[in-house]
């Protein structure tokens, strides 16, 4: 069944038995998918609730959906993972967003790091990229059946990203010069101490993480992890971490 994501406001409409869709969803449903009255669609709320609906009315700017059945989405992982990604060149970030969403990432923060080559000359340039990456996240979420669409945060500096860290997060930095601690060891020892609910992982851009940045994140409480003896490309590193976490937590 086709899935659409709804806002909190639309979620509240469910109590009345009807949810109204507007904006780009209308064109998608009516003109692209050519759906009509009586067709069924699935509406996912950020709360994890899902509403199976029947299209009841189609207007120029809206589609009215009658709620048939409510359930809770069970495709979301229990451990929330934030990917702090040093912004890479060209279209690599698009691949990173798409694959990370499939692998269950909760949030992606694009970070301007010292060795990031791309320059955003105005805030608008950054916002344009953020919107493009958000669209890729939306599409990947729909395609892979997630009950939640991971947010792509605004492009930000490492300092800003660190200031927004949520409490009780196991913060990791993938560092190719780390020779002692593997991802597996860090996760295992964290699990022994506490239940791990939230993980954040920082991945450097192509040129890696500078010594100054490394020191900053270590002072902020990040633990360095090795991803093995070979140096992975930046777009491989995040996928590697997320896959390993899926295996570890079996979700
Ligand atoms: N400084 C490097 C490569 C950077 S690779 C160089 O230019 O030679 C890009 C990022 O991927 C790194 O900053 C790191 O976050 C991650 N990464 C790649 N291979 C890794 C490994 N074996 N262990 C931990 N992190 C790794």
Residues 37, 246: Cα–Cα separation, whole Å = 39
Q: What is the pLDDT of residues 24-53, one digit of tens each?
A: 999 999 999 999 999 999 999 977 899 999
What is the pLDDT at residue 64? 97
**Which residue among 200, 223, 231 has the greatest number of ligand 1 atoms within 8 angstroms of its CB, and so is best to mutate?**
231
Residue ranges of domains in the chain: 3-72, 80-248
211 CA from centroid of ligand 1 (Å): 13
Stated as kind and residue range, the H or E segment containing 225 is strand 223-225
Each residue of 5-31: pLDDT tens digit?
A: 999 899 999 999 999 999 999 999 999
Nearest CA owner, ligand 1 atom 26: 176
Asked if the domains at 3-72 and 80-248 fall in one CATH topology, the answer is no
Contacts of 147 (CB under 8 A, 6+ apart): 44, 48, 50, 72, 73, 74, 75, 76
Query: Could you tell me the fold of the domain covering 80-248?
Result: Alpha/beta knot (3.40.1280)
- CA-nearest residue, atom 3 of ligand 1: 208
81: which 2 tokens? 């993972």
User: Which of ligand 1's atoms lies nearest the C-alpha of 204?
Assistant: 13
pLDDT tens, position by position, for the chain (251 residues)?
Answer: 899 999 989 999 999 999 999 999 999 999 999 999 999 999 999 778 999 999 999 999 999 999 999 998 887 888 999 999 999 999 999 999 999 999 999 999 999 999 999 988 888 999 999 999 999 999 999 899 888 889 999 999 999 999 999 889 999 999 999 999 999 999 999 998 887 889 999 999 999 999 999 999 999 999 999 999 999 999 999 999 999 999 999 87
Token pair for residue 108?
Answer: 């992606």
The domain over range 3-72 is classified in CATH as 3.40.718.10: no
- Ligand 1 atom closest to the Cα of residue 233 is 5
**Tally of CB atoms within 10 A around 117:** 11
DSSP 3-state helix, strand, coil percentages of the chain (rounded to 5)? 35, 25, 35
């Amino acid at each position: 069944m086709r899935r659409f994501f709804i806002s909190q406001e639309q979620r509240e409409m469910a109590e009345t038995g009807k949810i109204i869709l507007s904006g780009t969803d209308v064109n998608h449903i009516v003109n692209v998918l050519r759906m009509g009255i009586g067709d069924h669609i699935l509406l996912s709320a950020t709360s994890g609730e899902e509403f199976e609906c029947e299209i009841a009315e189609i207007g120029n700017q809206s589609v009215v959906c009658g709620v048939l059945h409510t359930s809770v989405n069970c495709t979301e992982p229990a451990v929330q993972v934030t990917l702090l990604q040093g912004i890479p060149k060209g279209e690599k970030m698009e691949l990173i967003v798409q694959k990370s969403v499939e692998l269950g990432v909760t949030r992606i923060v694009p970070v301007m790091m010292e060795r990031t080559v791309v320059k955003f000359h105005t805030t608008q340039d950054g916002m344009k990229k953020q919107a493009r990456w958000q669209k890729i996240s939306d599409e990947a979420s729909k395609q892979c059946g997630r009950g939640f669409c991971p947010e792509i945060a605004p492009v930000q500096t490492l300092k800003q990203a660190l200031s927004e860290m949520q409490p009780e997060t196991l913060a990791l930095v993938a560092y190719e010069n780390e020779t002692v601690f593997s991802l597996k060891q860090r996760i295992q020892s964290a699990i022994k101490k506490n239940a791990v609910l939230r993980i954040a992982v920082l991945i450097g851009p192509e040129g890696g993480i500078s010594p100054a940045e490394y020191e900053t994140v270590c002072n902020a409480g990040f633990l360095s992890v090795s991803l093995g003896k070979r140096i992975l490309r930046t777009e491989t590193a995040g996928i590697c971490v997320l896959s390993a976490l899926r295996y570890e937590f079996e979700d």
